[in-house]
Chain A
Amino acid sequence: MHVTLKIQRYNPETEEQSLETYSVEMNEEATLLDTLDAVKDQVDGSLSYRKSCRMAVCGSCGMRIDGAAVLACKTPMKPIVESGEVPVISPMGNLPVIKDLVVDMAPFWAKFRAVKPYLEEDENPPVKEWRVQQEELDRVMTEALCIQCGCCVSECNSMESDPDFLGPAALAKAARFVYDVRDRGGKERLELYNGPHGVWDCTRCYFCNQRCPKGVHPRDAIAKVGAAIYQAGMHSDPGARHAKVFVKSTHKTGYLLETNLVPETVGAINAIKDIPFALKLARAGKVPNPLRPHSANKLDEVRKLHKLIEAQEQAAYAEGTAGPRRPPEEAQAKESE
């Protein structure tokens, strides 16, 4: 099949930038990576991109096709060719471009390192393996699928406005340890994710879930870390307080009491600063009557949901921090010591 694509080129040595069109002859099974290889081999060897495994496990070949992050090796060209589309290939977003489709991953790995990306081991491990149930491991298996390709980070809306946001990949890594029964990181670990640029800075746009090529669901992982922070009783961060207002007000009325949101999140004194903005909103008819809060009809249903979620989160947190079990023979020996 005849494949035509446009590639965003950038040469840092001449600072030239251009959008080049290439056409190559490919077989029907060809992926985007195969196509780039053909362009590089046969047309222009100076085209740069990363690659290695070509089977979606090494995480090298993250890039954008028509603005959406993909692994080039996991992207078949046939449907694109059949649709008549001439796709535009460009480097991933939110990371500085080094050359052509190669981005600088240093900021990505700096955030990885910032989340204490390793198991905080028990000081006194058993001689053999920890006894862990499959279901307990399944709880972190989704996050453990992550190949650190950066596709989620490329698409992260929050990182666009706050480049220091830890971001979906690093926080998914965090979740992988928070819910590992063998991890001894405790509150100290959670503290790393609770502060500025931590879990509460996620805008919940779900782009990371949508674009992850491995089904890691980073946004869900961020929610899990948030729940753990909440369950650990760490409510002081404005982000946590903000979440708490949602819980409190929906529990009370079934709706969100918007007028309580700002004072309860940032405190009464800070809220005073926002009064002019609130008045503007009120003039535009965007503020509900604070004196007669609306209330849902079936409040008991809402509260049932609350109870259910609360119990689920409590159980997950309790199980995730319960600590691993020693082999029975060793546990006995320890007890009799």
Chain B
Amino acid sequence: MVRHDVVVVGAGLAGMRAAIEASRYGVDVGVVSKLHPTRSHSGAAEGGINAALGNAGEDSPEKHTFFTVKGSDYLGDQDAIAVMCAEGPGDIYELEHMGAIFSRMDDGRIAQRPFGAGGAPRTCYAADITGHVLLHVLYEQLVKSGVTVYEEWFALDLVTDGERCVGVTAWDLVRGGVQGVEASAVILATGGLGRMYRGTTNAYACTGDGMSMAWRAGVPLKDMEFMQFHPTTLKANGVLITEGCRGEGGYLRNAEGDRFMFNYAPNAGELASRDVVSRSEQTEIDEGRGVDGCVLLDLTHLGAKRINERLHGSRELAMDYAGVDPIEEPIPVRPGAHYHMGGIDTDVWGHTIMPGLYAAGECACVSVHGANRLGGNSLLETVVFGRRAGAAAAQDVRRDGMGGVFSPSAVRVTERAIQRMLDVNQGERPYVLRQELADVMYDNAGIFRTAEKLETCKAQVAELRERYARGLVVHDKGRTFNSDLIQAIELGSMLQMADCLVTGAIARTESRGAHSRLDFPDRDDENWLRHTLAWYDDGEVELGYKPVTITEYEPAVRTY
């Protein structure tokens, strides 16, 4: 049993930023993460981070706010978006002072390039390894801060005293065994859930654990039906090729060599928002103008020098995982599940409805992305709202003191649940269900959705949840580095989150942002300009709704 004033679960950008901020307030901070911090998936972000610095062209936080609101298809909360866009520049300068290596303009200021549907060159970048650079800078700062990190501790359940969150239980992966982690405040920063889809850019670790923990503890999840499909992912393994390729002037072509995007987005072309580009690509592929299930991302006209300077990482990925050198030939790409807009319902300070529980980053839904996130806004969200959640948690702890009582029986309950999993010797292996889930989700809750497909999906997810409940066989019965056990637990989280996602999607009878219903092709502001809430109801998903915050910008028709 360990205790800290503030415990952060997850150590990607949002988690580390929260921990660093909380420690600045003089409270005792601990970080629990199933991966070593630098292994987090934030490091795979490539293209950049948005902030209205105005270095490369006229820009302002207001303009950034407007284009983010429009990009969200008006589902984003405008007060939250305004906060993010106003505070963004300060966070970028802070990261720069910490040592982040941002690419530069000739006069030594931070360089910025245009990203899809942004309306200005606003994306700061470190070549095409921005996430990697920021992740390592924040880890450096975490080391400097002296915060205690419990590496490779897999958080299992939130512990509450009936009212407040008082900590978590965690499985110590290296040594084995359930540990109690007592806290006055818990910040969830556990990232996304893309692994429930077959074609995804996400790491193996992105299994929605934190969202699932919150949901089971009675905290609502918001807008779970909104899954973003990134337009440029590699066919073989879903690896991301950055939007920066198009930001630097890359073309999308179909089998006939046409730059088809202008048929769908006459003004923005390749730099329309991600939902628009992914749907356009899928339409080209479905109508027979694809190349082996892909379209082509053509960078050849950019020349070797520019590709090597600005898109070196993408070139390496294309060569390693598609066998294609983008200097010589176009890269076959297709849409892949990339970013989950929904998550744990929070306010602009990361508070959830449960006292003592906060959330930030992809696992949270503030909501700044609404129905569709703009490229470059997720990294910004992690640092702005990570910082805010860290500050709020620390201040609340300083004001309110210890919080509730962590009952040691919580550890025993979790320990018994794990033992039950290890005791199963007959039945299915987890990977069978994992693969079925990924196929079911990609085929039925993907880019284009219909009531029929979604109902099929819901039924199949329910069936998978039943099979899961019957017990799966974990081969590894040992305690030391039992990743077989962890993967089985992760599967459980994914099944629950898939249920939340598809249940929300069935109910939302409109098309908005990334949620595209062929049977309801139009946006329906009258009925659906509202957030979906998914509540836990004895293992099942219970839907509720709440209004969208609209301040400056009345919903308008969204074209690019």
Contact = CB atoms under 8 A, between A and B. Distances in A.
* Same assembly: yes
Interface of A: 11-13, 29, 34, 40-42, 44-46, 48-60, 74, 76, 98-100, 102, 104-105, 109, 112-113, 117-119, 121-122, 125, 127-134, 137, 140-141, 144-148, 177, 180, 182-183, 325, 327
Contacts of B129: 57, 145
A29 B479 CA distance: 33
A77 to B, nearest CB: 13
Contact of A128 (B93, B103, B132, B236): B93
A147 B132 contact: yes
B481 to A, nearest CB: 5
B96 A141 contact: no
Contact of B320 (A56, A130, A147): A56
A40 B434 CA distance: 14
A44 B136 CA distance: 35
Q: Which of B39, B140, B321, B475 has the most CB of A within 10 A?
A: B39
B541 interface: no
Interface in B454-510: 473-484
Contacts of B39: 50, 52-53, 58-60
Interface stretch (B105-113, B217-225, B297-305, B543-551): B105-113
7 closest cross-chain pairs (CB), A and B: A45-B475, A131-B108, A119-B99, A41-B431, A118-B140, A46-B476, A45-B484
Contacts of A144: 101, 133, 136
30 contacts: A11-B478, A13-B479, A41-B429, A46-B475, A46-B482, A48-B481, A48-B483, A50-B483, A53-B39, A53-B41, A54-B203, A54-B239, A55-B317, A56-B317, A58-B38, A58-B39, A74-B320, A98-B481, A118-B99, A118-B141, A121-B97, A128-B53, A129-B97, A130-B96, A131-B107, A145-B129, A180-B99, A182-B99, A325-B108, A327-B109
A118 B484 contact: no
Interface residue tally on B, bucketed by range: 35 or more
Interface of B: 35-36, 38-41, 43-44, 53, 92-93, 96-99, 101-104, 107-110, 127, 129, 132-133, 136, 140-141, 143-144, 174, 203-205, 236-237, 239-240, 316-317, 320-321, 429, 431, 473-484
Given A53-B203, A58-B43, A121 B431 contact: no
A53 to B, nearest CB: 4
Contacts of A57: 43-44, 129, 132
A13 B476 CA distance: 12
A119 B140 contact: yes
A59 B93 contact: no
A130 B40 CA distance: 28
Contacts of B92: 129
A118 B43 contact: no
A129 B95 CA distance: 9
B68 to A, nearest CB: 22
B174 A13 contact: no
A48 B41 contact: no
Contacts of A141: 101, 127
Contacts of B204: 51-54
A54 to B, nearest CB: 6
B108 A132 contact: yes
A130 B484 contact: no
Contacts of A132: 104, 108
Contacts of A131: 107-109
A256 to B, nearest CB: 39
Nearest to B434: A41
B114 to A, nearest CB: 19
Nearest to A121: B97
Contact of A45 (B36, B174, B320, B474): B474
Nearest to B132: A57
Contact of A134 (B103, B174, B478): B103
Contacts of B317: 55-56
Nearest to B237: A54
Nearest to B320: A74
Nearest to A109: B36
Given A127-B93, A140-B101, A118 B108 contact: no
Contact of B97 (A13, A130, A133): A130
Contact of A105 (B36, B103, B104): B36
Contacts of A125: 97
